[in-house]
């Protein structure tokens, strides 16, 4: 399926003529920025500044607090078909080096003849991207001297290993080993590259022993084309989308050295898909071309009728903690149906949680695909990621917009937690409190000077997204190493200027989640003007304990502020 080239036909009119609708009543959306032309990817450089790439103009546009404020860069790009300004990602040390990486199709003039595709590092100076340094060029080769206008890929991500991952479409270079067709011909395409930050090949890449410098850089191959990659925060696994031809779009979990099967196999191997691009033959995984160490894996989910999968990301932010149907599940954009989808992820995070008609891990019809529909009339979504504010941002290619998706029950993690009393014996005051992941903050009693003082006391400060929420709760997951330990939660009432005891809890030795409603009008617990919220959490023994010192543990805490 040729994706970007068909967008105007498949979804342009619908995207501009129909209102977007989220089908999950726990979410809502706003338009963060509009007026863009064919945006492909975006990256946040700060809490307020993002760079948005326009495919055809070659412009990297600066958006500040949702308003276009100028061009960081204007490149001459070949833009026919799926060429253009395609991918952007910032350096993991961006706060100190200001590096930003772009991937684009070079030309002498916008819309001119293709020269090559290249990965280039720039330096952000606060308003523009300058000081280009070319890191990797993917251009004409001896076997493939002409560049096709389709399947350039171009999506960029940096992994938790601080390596650059680059989705590279097959460029229609079908007669090469990367497309499982000709063993001794290298296409320099149809793969996902894994690169050091200088563009070189990491020595732990699966094919680093190969003499070919391009093969050294490959992480996986047998890849047709795609516009979606994201890491699962829980496992560190890389999930990626792959666009099929007449049949089978795929969602995959990447493995080092993976052969994804194209062009002999699309969809699960046992489906024996036959289509024009594989000569209408039912190939098996043992008939693929394998580099030493390579291995085939089935997709974790497929769509028999291609939906034009594109942007892909996880609702992994703590903002969505109280949105059970959403948190840590995946969002999938597409270009053929105008819809966005939400894929439920298994508890072991190694696939999708499918049942009923989808238990075979294939959506065999539009009706089956719609079982996981999250929204309609969203147009072609080509990028999806969590922003620095914790909300999900979606790039709408066909409508020239960036959408922001938010939970109606917004879980607000404290911006500051202060230890007043108690000694920390495990975890810390930041990451240990954010997710319910058993990475607990553990404290034992500290010194007190009066019997009225609790030997463990934390003070928490947060910011409500709403000045007058419809509801406001304080959520905490806690336990103690002994019975007879009380936890007291106090919330600050800005109307009276004093803390109010919201609940006293007799802790158990097993982590338990407590949801505590504010004792009164929610807006009284939100400071006028700043939207600040305050809470105190204390622990004390109320009787004999098993052993001293006892320990109190907190696995998670946050406020939940409901949209008015």
Q: Which CATH number fits the domain that encloses residue 422?
A: 2.60.120.260
Q: Judge if 381 and 422 occupy the same domain.
A: no
Select from 407, 422, 443 the last residue of a domain.
407
Q: Residues 448, 546: one domain? A: yes
Q: Which one, of 553, 541, 444, 440, lies nearest residue 483 by Cα?
A: 541
Same-domain status, 382 and 297: yes
**Global pTM value:** 0.95
Do 96 and 225 belong together in one domain? yes
Helix (H, G, I), strand (E, B) or coil at 339: coil
Does residue 127 share a domain with residue 33? yes
76 and 109 Cβ atoms separated by less than 8 Å = yes
The enclosing domain of 260 has a CATH number of 2.120.10.30
Q: How far is CA 338 from the centre of its chain?
A: 20
Please tell me the distance from the alpha carbon of residue 379 to that of residue 361, in angstroms, as a whole number. Answer: 25
Indicate the residue among 373, 388, 407 that finishes a domain.
407
Rounded-to-integer distance, Cα 11 and Cα 381, Å: 11
In the chain, the number of structural domains is 2
pLDDT of residue 307: 97
Q: Are residues 267 and 298 in the same domain?
A: yes
- Residues 120, 197, single domain; the answer is yes
pLDDT for residue 168: 98
Q: Which of 386, 407, 428 is the last residue of a domain?
A: 407
Q: What is the pLDDT of residue 80?
A: 97
Tell whether 399 and 419 lie within a shared domain. Answer: no
One domain, residues 306 and 436: no
What is the DSSP secondary structure assignment for residue 352, as one 8-state letter?
Answer: B
pLDDT at 6: 44
Cβ atoms of 342 and 331 closer than 8 Å: yes
Q: Which pLDDT score is estimated for 3?
A: 53
* Residues 424, 400 share a domain: no
Q: Residue 525 — φ and ψ, nearest 5°? A: -100, 15
**Do 278 and 209 belong together in one domain?**
yes
For residue 455, give its domain range: 411-562
pLDDT score at 2: 55
pLDDT in tens, the chain (564 residues): 455 544 433 333 333 456 899 999 999 999 999 999 999 999 999 999 999 999 999 999 999 999 999 999 999 999 999 999 999 999 999 999 999 999 999 999 999 999 999 999 999 999 999 999 999 999 999 999 988 999 999 999 999 999 999 999 999 999 999 999 999 999 999 999 999 999 999 999 999 999 999 999 999 999 999 999 999 999 999 999 999 999 999 999 999 999 999 999 999 999 999 999 999 999 999 999 999 999 999 999 999 999 999 999 999 999 999 999 999 999 999 999 999 999 999 999 999 999 999 999 999 999 999 999 999 999 999 999 999 999 999 999 999 999 999 999 999 999 999 999 999 999 999 999 999 999 999 999 999 888 889 999 999 999 999 999 999 999 999 999 999 999 999 999 999 999 999 999 999 999 999 999 999 999 999 999 999 999 999 999 999 988 889 999 999 999 999 999
> Based on the domain organization, do 300 and 162 belong to the same domain?
yes
């Amino acid at each position: 399926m040729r994706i970007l080239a068909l967008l105007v036909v498949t979804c342009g009119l619908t995207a501009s003529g129909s209102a977007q609708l989220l089908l999950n009543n726990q979410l809502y959306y706003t338009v963060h920025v509009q007026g863009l032309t064919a945006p492909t990817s975006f990256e946040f450089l700060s809490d307020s500044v993002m760079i948005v790439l326009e495919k055809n103009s070659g412009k990297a546009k600066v958006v500040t607090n949702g308003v276009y404020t100028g061009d960081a860069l204007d490149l001459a790009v070949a833009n026919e078909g799926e060429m253009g300004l395609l991918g952007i990602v910032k350096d993991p040390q961006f706060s100190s080096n200001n590096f930003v990486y772009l991937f684009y199709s070079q030309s002498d003039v916008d819309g001119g003849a293709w020269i090559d595709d290249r990965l280039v590092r720039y330096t952000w100076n606060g308003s523009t991207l300058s000081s280009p340094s070319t890191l990797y060029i993917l251009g004409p080769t001896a076997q493939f001297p002409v560049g096709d206008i389709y399947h350039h890929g171009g999506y960029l991500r940096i992994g938790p290993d601080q390596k650059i991952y680059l989705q590279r479409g097959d460029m229609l270079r079908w007669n090469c080993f990367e497309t499982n067709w000709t063993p001794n011909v290298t296409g320099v395409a149809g793969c996902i590259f894994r690169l050091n930050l200088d563009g070189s090949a990491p020595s732990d890449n699966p094919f680093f022993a190969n003499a070919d410098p391009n093969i050294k850089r490959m992480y996986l191959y047998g890849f047709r084309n795609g516009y979606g990659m994201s890491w699962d925060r829980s496992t560190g696994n890389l999930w990626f989308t792959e666009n099929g031809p007449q049949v089978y779009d795929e969602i995959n979990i990447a493995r080092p050295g993976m052969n994804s099967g194209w062009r002999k196999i699309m969809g699960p191997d046992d489906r024996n898909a036959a289509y024009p691009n594989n000569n209408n033959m039912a190939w098996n995984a043992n008939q693929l071309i394998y580099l030493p160490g390579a291995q085939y894996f089935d997709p974790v989910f497929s769509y028999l009728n291609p939906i034009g999968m594109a942007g892909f990301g996880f609702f992994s932010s703590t903002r969505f903690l109280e949105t059970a149907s959403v948190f840590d599940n995946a969002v999938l954009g597409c270009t053929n149906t105008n819809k966005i989808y939400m894929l439920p992820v298994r508890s072991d995070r190694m696939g999708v949680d499918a049942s009923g008609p989808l238990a075979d891990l294939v959506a065999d019809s539009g009706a089956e695909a719609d079982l996981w529909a999250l929204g309609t009339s969203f147009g072609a979504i080509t990028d999806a990621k969590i922003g620095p504010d914790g909300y999900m941002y979606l790039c709408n290619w066909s409508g020239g917009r960036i959408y922001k998706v938010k939970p109606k029950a917004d879980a607000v993690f404290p911006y500051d937690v202060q230890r007043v009393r108690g000694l920390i014996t495990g975890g810390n005051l930041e990451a240990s409190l954010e997710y319910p992941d058993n990475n607990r903050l553990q404290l034992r009693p500290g010194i007190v000077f009066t019997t009225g003082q609790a030997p463990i006391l934390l003070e928490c400060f947060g910011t409500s997204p709403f000045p007058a929420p419809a509801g406001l709760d304080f959520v905490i997951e806690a336990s103690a190493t002994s019975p007879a330990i009380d936890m007291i939660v106090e919330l600050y009432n800005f109307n009276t200027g004093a803390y109010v005891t919201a609940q006293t809890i007799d802790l158990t030795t097993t982590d338990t989640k407590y949801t505590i409603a504010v004792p009164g009008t929610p807006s009284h617990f939100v400071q006028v003007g700043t939207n600040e919220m305050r809470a105190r959490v204390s622990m004390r023994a109320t009787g004999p304990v098993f052993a001293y010192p006892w320990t109190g543990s907190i696995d998670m805490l946050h406020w939940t502020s409901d949209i008015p």
